[in-house]
Amino acid sequence: EPEVTQTPSHQVTQMGQEVILRCVPISNHLYFYWYRQILGQKVEFLVSFYNNEISEKSEIFDDQFSVERPDGSNFTLKIRSTKLEDSAMYFCARSLAGGMGETQYFGPGTRLLVL
């Protein structure tokens, strides 16, 4: 099974600070996703990304969030001004193609704690 890696594994930040979470690519996977899971709650879709554009985003993905592939390699999620309620596990997922039946491979997650 293809391996998705994420950095950092843990991030502690002060409210109002910017954080960048990174997802390391699988070479031939072109579709990228971010999900989050607040402690004790369900996994929630944030955004999907293909060909350097957002394909779809949820209502959670507001103006504080952005995604990009800055060097055509790593896929990043930026939170501009973190809030306490942004504390969660953030999972990157990738798939080879974007069809409904495509398997999304999840990374191990970044645990973000906003103080």
Partner 1 sequence: QKEVEQDPGPLSVPEGAIVSLNCTYSNSAFQYFMWYRQYSRKGPELLMYTYSSGNKEDGRFTAQVDKSSKYISLFIRDSQPSDSATYLCAMRGTNAGKSTFGDGTTLTVKP
Residues of the shown chain interacting with partner 1 in the complex, contacts defined by CB under 8 A? 4, 31, 33, 35, 41-45, 48, 55-56, 58, 89, 91, 93, 95, 98-109, 111
3 vs 56, 64, 96, CA distance in Å? 24, 29, 12
Q: Closest CB to partner 1 among 18 and 102? A: 102
Q: Closest CB to partner 1 among 1 and 63? A: 1
Shortest Å, Cβ 114 to partner 1: 18
The residue ranges of DSSP E strands in 16-82, in sequence order, are 19-24, 31-37, 43-50, 53-57, 65-68, 75-79
Shortest Å, Cβ 14 to partner 1: 23
The residue written with tokens 């990374």 in the block is 107
Q: Closest CB to partner 1 among 17 and 46? A: 46
